Chains A and B, each alone.
Chain A
């Protein structure tokens, strides 16, 4: 098993970030997860401003986005 892992890690070039299978439905590396977090952050803020800002302040959207981003980067 360790030999197999070694073989896989040696086949990945040093400059490439290895993929990981988390709860996201795709094989995502660290860059992908950061990218998805930013995309969701922007989308949540825009949708919040359109539909919810009249009732709830935008800071809640920021808090949700930050928590979601950390979760995606950590476990995604």
Chain B
């Protein structure tokens, strides 16, 4: 009894902080999501409207477009980062000339703030000023303008995210690779397995928990990317081609001051993120149990 009381006493600061900064805002947003609340409208205060915000949401083409952009962005960014990161980790696991320098240079993007990453890429992609449109035009005769082409804008935000976050994937993969036991690989080599067979049947299954954990972290991050895309494409342009859910919510909540609808969107985004992460988490824990 005494031990339990001491445990609760020691936990109480964390629980209080979690309630104030985690649970209370969640409950508040949940309640606001069922109300119409625009402080600058003729109607003052909150007006209960039931599930009308959610009813409007499932027919809101701008929201559904932002959802589609976010899912596409998350899928392609995380997949690319995973493949490139895994290859680079395999490279860094070996010894070669200039390895330390390469590792330092490769990790530099991780140290830069997302808003600065957006600013750097914006400077690099401005037509008539940035080096990317200049060299693409000069060498390949390609007209590059992310202000007018939605495909190029989407490709730019993808490449920017890959550039920014691949080092993180590489580092986690490298940690996983260096922690792998040597015995199974040596046993396979004695049995005459080639490099592909060792990779396919030993390295990859042993790396599965590390890969799934990395995907888990990156998916959560990619689903809530706002600042760097907002900076690069000036709020998700051209049109709404790079407007992710985070940017869309920002534009509805702050410039339009539609707090009720914005809360509903935030909650739905949270719901989708939790579902996606839970599915990944289940696959991770089930694999661990099966192993």
Interface residues of A (CB under 8 A from B): 26-27, 35, 39, 42, 45-46, 49-50, 53, 58
Contact = CB atoms under 8 A, between A and B. Distances in A.
A50 B58 CA distance: 6
Given A27-B286, A46-B54, A50-B58, A35 B278 contact: yes
Interface residues of B, number: 13
A35 B51 CA distance: 21
Contacts of B282: 26
B19 interface: no
Nearest to B275: A39
A16 to B, nearest CB: 13
Contacts of B58: 46, 49-50
A26 B278 CA distance: 12
Contacts of B59: 50
Nearest to B57: A46
Given A42-B271, A46-B54, 4 more contacts: A26-B282, A27-B289, A49-B55, A58-B51
Nearest to A32: B282
Contacts of A45: 51, 54
A26 B54 contact: no
A61 B286 CA distance: 31
A12 to B, nearest CB: 14
The residue in B58, B275, B289 that gathers the most chain A C-beta atoms within 10 A of its C-beta is B58
Interface in B42-66: 51, 54-55, 58-59
Contacts of A27: 286, 289
Contacts of B268: 46
B275 A49 contact: no
A52 to B, nearest CB: 11
Contacts of A26: 282, 286
A58 B268 CA distance: 18
